[in-house]
Chains A and B, each alone.
Chain A
C-alpha cells in the first residue's frame, strides 16, 4: 500500500492567485482586526473578562497555527501536541519557581526540550505509516501525564504547578491585568501567521505539501521525505512550546490534565480544523470561532447546571467538521467565491 495516509483535502489554492500579487482585501481585513484587538483595552464597555477571553483566543490561535504546520501543511497525524505545550509550560514554570529564572530564558529551555522530544519521536516513527506516528504522539503524552502526576516535588502532581506571583513585572512576564498578554498574544499570532505564509510560499513548504499529498510521488521527484517530515515536526514543536510558555505566564498555572489531556489536545486541533487545514487564515478564523463557542456553551451550561457540555460541543464539532466540511470555514468561503466567478 503506498497511498498517502492523510487525505486532509486541503489542496493548495490555485497558484495563479497566490503567486502574483497580494490579496489586498485579506490584508486590509487583517490590519483592521489587529487594530481592533490592540485597541480593546481603550474601548468603552470592554472589561477584563472580555480582554481575558480575547487573550485566550489569541493563545489558542497561535497554538492552532503551530499544529496547522505539522498536520495541515505537513500531513502528520499528531494527536498529542499537548506534549510540547506541556513541556513549554512546565519548563518555564519550574525554572522560575525553583531557580527564579525569568521566562524570557525559560522559554528557550522549554523549546529545546520540545525539540529533543520531537526529534526522538520523529526519528523513531516518521519512517513508518502515519498511524504509527499518531499512536506514538498519544503514547508520549500519556507517559508525560503519568510522570507529571507522580513527581509531585517537581511538578505539583495532580494539583498542578502555580507560578509564584511577584506583582506586575515585565522581566518576569507577570501582570495583574490581562492587557499585556493581549499584545504578547497579538505578536505571536502575527509572527506565526507570517511563518505560515512564508512556509506556504517557500520551496520547503511546497515539499511538505508534496509529501502530504503523495509520499511516493514526492520521493520520486527528489524530495527528501523523511527529512521534510522531521523538520516540519521540529518547527511545529518549537512553535507550540514557545506559545505554551506564553500560556503559562498568562494563566500562571498548569496541571497534567490541562497539559497532556485529551480535551486539551483537541483544543489544539480545532482551530485549524474549523478554520481550514493547511491555510494561513484557517487557524485564525477557527480559533476565534472555537473560543466564542466554548465561552457561550460554558455560560449556557453553568446557567443550566449541567457540567461538561463544552466537551460534548467539542466532540460534535469535531465530527461535523471532519464529516461535512473537511476544508473548514475557509473551504466553504473559497467554494462560494469560486461559484460566483
Chain B
C-alpha cells in the first residue's frame, strides 16, 4: 500500500462509520419529519418515544431474555398506541401551524414522559444484550460493528417501506391529501382527524422501532430522549422538513460529518459543525436538500 492510501484509510473508515451511524439517525428522524410534513407538528417529545422504544428492548432482554430485535413489533405497536393517545390528548388542537404553544406543549409532554421513565426505570443507564453486540467484521482494512450494520439495514428498509406506504397506497394518498389541504380533503370525504391520528401514531411507532434498534449497541437512560432530539432535528431540517427519504439521507449526512469532525478535529466538539450547518441551511436553503415547499 502506498503512503497516500495508508493515509486515506482512517478517512474512509470515518466516512463508512458515519454512514452506518447516520442510517440510525435517519431512522430517528423519519417519524419526526412525517409528523411535521402532515400536521406541521414539531414533536419535541419524539426523542422520548425513541427512549421508550429503547426501554422496550431493555425489558425484552432483561425480563424475557429475548433479543431486542425480536421486540421490534411490540415496540412498534406500543409506541403507536402511545402516540395515538398523545395525539388525542395533546396534539389534536395544534394541527396545521407550528405555534409557540405547540412547541411548548411538546416540550412539556417530553419532560413529563422523561420523569415517568425515571420513576419507572430509575436514573441509571441500562443496556440490552443482543446477539450482534460486541461483534465486529473486518472487510479489507475497515472494521464495522455488526450491530450497526444490522441497524443500518433495518433503518433503510423502514424508510423505503414508509415512502412506499405514502406514495403507493390509498391510505398514503389520503395522508398526503390531508397534509396538502385539510378543508379540501374533508370536502371529498376524508376523515382528517382519523387520518392525522394514524399518521401521528405511525410517527411515534417509527420512533419506537428506532429506539429498539439503537439499544442493541447503545445504552439508554431517561435523558436520552432529549439528547437525541438535536440530531433528529438537524437531520430532518437538512433533508427538508416533511420529506421522509430526505430525513434518512439527512441522518446519514449528519453521521458522516460527526465522524469526520471527530477524526479530523476533536470528538468532544463533534456536534458543533452540525449546529453551524443547521444555521446555514435555515438561512440559505430552508427547504433542505429534498423539501419541495418553498414557503
Q: Which residues of A contact B (CB under 8 A)?
A: 1-9, 71, 75, 77, 79, 121, 124-125, 128-132, 134-136, 138-140, 142-143, 146-147, 149-150, 262-263, 266, 269, 273, 306-309, 311-312, 314-320, 322-323, 326
B229 nearest CB neighbor, chain A only: A138
Most chain A beta carbons < 10 A, residue from B99, B268, B272, B279: B99
Find out whether the CB atom of A128 lies under 8 angstroms from the CB atom of B286: yes
Q: Do A142 and B275 contact each other (CB < 8 Å), given the known contacts A129-B295, A150-B266?
A: yes
Nearest residue, chain B, Cβ from A326:
B101
Is the pair B98, A146 in contact by a Cβ cutoff of 8 Å?
Answer: no
> A1 vs B294: C-alpha distance in the bound complex, in angstroms?
10
Return 11 A-B CB contacts under 8 Å, by A number.
Answer: A2-B295, A7-B101, A124-B279, A125-B279, A129-B98, A134-B42, A135-B233, A143-B276, A147-B272, A308-B115, A323-B93
- Within 8 Å by CB of B108, from A132, A150, A306, A317, lies A317
**A8 CA to B99 CA, complexed, in Å:** 8
Interface contact B230-A8, CB-CB below 8 Å: no
Chain A nearest CB: distance from B51 CB in Å? 14
- On chain A, the residues within 8 Å of B97 by CB distance are 1, 3-5, 7
Task: Give the B interface residue count (CB, 8 A).
Answer: 41
Q: Whole-angstrom distance between the alpha carbons of A307 and B118 in the complex?
A: 9
Q: How far is the CA of A263 from the CA of B110 in the complex (A)?
A: 12
**B49: min CB distance to chain A, Å:** 15
Contact partner of B90 among A125, A146, A269, A319, CB < 8 A?
A319
Q: Is the CB of A315 within 8 A of B115?
A: yes
**Taking A135-B278, A143-B276, A323-B93 as contacts, is the C-beta distance between A318 and B100 under 8 angstroms?**
no
From A75, A124, A320, B283 is in contact (CB under 8 Å) with A124
Instruction: Given A8-B99, A142-B275, output 6 extra A-B contacts at Cβ < 8 Å.
Output: A6-B99, A131-B42, A134-B42, A135-B282, A138-B230, A314-B111
- The verdict on A146 contacting B100 (CB below 8 Å), with A136-B278, A136-B282, A139-B275 known, is no
Q: Cβ of A306: which chain B residues have Cβ within 8 Å of it?
A: 119
CB pair A315–B268 under 8 Å, yes or no, is no
**Contact partners of A135 in chain B: CB under 8 A:** 42, 233, 237, 278, 282
Contact B266 A323 (CB under 8 A): no
Is B123 among interface residues, defined by CB-CB distance under 8 A?
A: yes
Among residues 260 to 295 in chain B, which have CB atoms less than 8 Å away from a CB atom of chain A? 266, 268-269, 271-272, 275-276, 278-279, 282-283, 286, 295
- Tell me whether A311 and B98 are in contact (CB under 8 A): no
Given contacts A136-B279, A142-B230, A319-B90, contact A8 B101 (CB under 8 A): yes
Q: Which of B93, B110, B269 contacts A315 (CB 8 A)?
A: B110
> Which of B112, B115, B230 is in CB contact (< 8 Å) with A319?
B112
Is A318 a contact of B42 with CB atoms below 8 Å?
A: no
Contacts of A1 in B (CB 8 A): 97, 295
